[in-house]
Structures are given as structure tokens and as C-alpha cells.
């Protein structure tokens, strides 16, 4: 014990220097290991884009701890990308999108992605998450209208403590005083006692309400087509998913969408002009 005390007393500077050096080396190694893992993961995403290799896709998915998806079906349903074909990569965790060609980034932008929340009401269950895997730009359009699915009205009714009434063609919702809500041609209208009809307005957050219920317009009516919600352009990925703009730019960078990848209008407008139909989209 005396020899040890003497060592640290007489050679203390050297001893503590060695201890500090070892600790510093361990710290640097930890940082390098983390950085190396991140670089390796991003490299694997690049390999995924170049090769369309199912084994690589599954390996990346397992390493990232991602939820199980249907990568086999996605790959089987879409053509293989050539090495020179531009492609899009979306990181759900980073809320970022890159439009790339080889190693070059042609454009990048922040995005909003699915919230991951689950809605269980009215006998239905919906999980609002962005799909992972390989998709393809199937079509694109400008100034798209949003046709809200049934879950939108269920969600709105839940938030506002209202009931739901699904309006069908040939039926009406009585309002009292002889008036009623009905469908006339392509519009949901208020029909007055004298037979006069007045088209009703509806948009996101301002749905048609009657007698304490949200009235769900039938598909094909103007009241089930919301303007401006999807921004100035949309790249459709199939199954109701898309890259699109927004009328709520403050949500970009967050997990708040119902599954689509949401961009600022200036970014989706730029991508609309750059991205061709058939472009692969890799979401991880």
C-alpha cells in the first residue's frame, strides 16, 4: 500500500495523465463508433436505392428497428431503378427529403410525416403513419383537391363532441321549419320550404353541421372536395399516399400528418417540375 501511495505521490502527474488519456480514448472511440454506425446506415440506404436489393432492404430495416412492412410487395409491384435514374429518399426520423442522382443531391427539403396516432371510433380503426419501403411516383397534379376519407369526419366529430350523419343521394336531413339538407346534382344543398336550394360550403375544420351532427357528404359532391389543403402540387405514390404541399407550413418538421409526406409549397412546386413519373421513392 505504501508503494502504491508513493507511486501516485511521486509519479502522480504521469499516472493521472495516463488515466486521462485512456478515458479520452474511450470517449473518442464511442463518438467514432456512433458516427460510423450513422454513416454505415446512410450508406446502406444508398445501396438500397442503387440495387433495389430485397436482402439489403430487409437488413437496413432490421438494423434501424423499423416496424414490419411489406417491402416484398412494394418491390414486386414496381420496376427496378437504373443506376442513373434519379430517386427520392425520405427519412421519417429526420423529417427530411432528398432528391438524388447517384451520390449527388439535386434537392432537399424538410417534411412532415405521419403522427403514428390511432383513431378507433364509429366501429373503425385507423393508424396514421407514413408507409416505409419503396414506392413510386405514379402521377402528379397541380392545385389538387383533397377528397377526405371517412376517418376525417370521424376524427372531426370526436374532436368537437359531435355525432355523425352520412348523407346519401335521395335522402335528406331535416332542419326544422320545412327546410332540409339534401343532394342536388354535384352539390349538398339546403332546400328551403319553397323548393329553393342553396349550395352549402364545407372545408377542413368547417364541415356541414346539423342538429348536433357532422353531415358526411357523399363522394362525388363538391362538398367532399377540399381546396388548398394539399397546397399547390402533389406527387401521388398510390394507396392514398402522396408527397404534397400544405396550407399549414408551421407543421413542417413534425410528425403530424395522417400518413402523407407534407412539404412547404415552394418545395413541392420545385420538385413537381424536377421529378418524373416512375421515380422511385424510398421511405425509411
Residues designated as active site:
244, 260
Whole-angstrom CA distances from 124 to 180, 213, 231 are 28, 18, 28
- Residues pairing with 226 in the sheet: 146
Instruction: Return the number of other C-beta atoms located less than 10 Å from residue 78's C-beta.
Output: 18
Cβ within 8 Å of residue 78, ≥6 positions away: 134, 135, 136, 280
12 vs 284: CA distance, rounded Å:
52
94 vs 64: CA distance, rounded Å:
13
Strand 87-91 versus strand 96-101 pairing type: antiparallel
274 vs 165: CA distance, rounded Å:
43
239 vs 241: CA distance, rounded Å:
6
SS3 state at 268: helix
Amino acid at each position: 500500500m505504501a508503494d502504491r501511495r508513493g507511486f501516485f505521490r511521486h509519479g502522480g502527474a504521469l499516472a493521472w495523465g495516463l488515466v486521462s488519456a485512456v478515458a479520452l480514448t474511450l470517449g473518442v472511440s464511442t463518438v467514432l463508433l456512433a458516427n460510423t454506425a450513422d454513416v454505415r446506415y446512410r450508406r446502406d440506404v444508398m445501396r438500397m436505392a442503387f440495387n433495389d436489393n430485397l436482402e439489403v432492404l430487409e437488413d437496413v430495416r432490421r438494423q434501424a428497428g423499423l416496424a414490419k412492412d411489406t417491402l416484398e410487395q412494394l418491390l414486386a409491384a414496381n420496376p427496378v431503378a437504373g443506376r442513373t435514374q434519379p430517386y427520392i429518399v425520405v427519412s421519417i426520423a429526420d423529417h427530411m427529403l432528398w432528391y438524388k442522382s447517384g451520390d449527388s443531391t439535386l434537392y432537399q427539403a424538410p417534411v412532415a410525416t405521419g403522427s403514428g396516432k390511432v383513431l378507433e371510433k364509429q366501429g373503425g380503426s385507423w393508424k396514421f403513419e407514413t408507409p416505409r419501403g419503396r414506392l413510386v411516383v405514379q402521377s402528379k397534379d397541380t392545385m389538387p383537391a383533397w377528397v377526405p376519407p371517412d376517418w376525417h369526419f370521424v376524427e372531426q366529430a370526436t374532436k368537437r363532441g359531435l355525432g355523425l350523419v352520412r348523407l346519401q343521394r335521395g335522402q335528406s336531413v331535416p332542419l326544422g321549419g320545412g327546410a332540409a339538407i339534401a343532394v342536388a346534382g354535384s352539390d349538398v344543398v339546403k332546400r328551403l320550404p319553397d323548393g329553393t336550394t342553396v349550395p352549402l360550403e364545407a372545408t377542413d375544420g368547417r364541415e356541414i353541421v346539423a342538429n348536433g351532427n357532422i353531415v358526411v357528404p357523399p363522394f362525388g359532391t363538391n362538398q367532399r372536395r377540399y381546396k388548398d389543403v394539399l397546397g399547390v402540387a402533389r406527387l401521388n405514390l398510390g394507396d392514398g399516399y402522396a408527397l404534397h404541399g400544405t396550407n399549414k407550413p408551421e407543421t413542417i418538421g413534425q410528425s403530424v400528418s395522417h400518413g402523407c409526406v407534407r412539404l412547404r409549397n415552394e418545395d413541392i412546386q420545385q420538385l413537381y417540375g424536377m421529378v418524373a413519373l416512375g421515380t422511385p421513392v424510398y421511405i425509411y
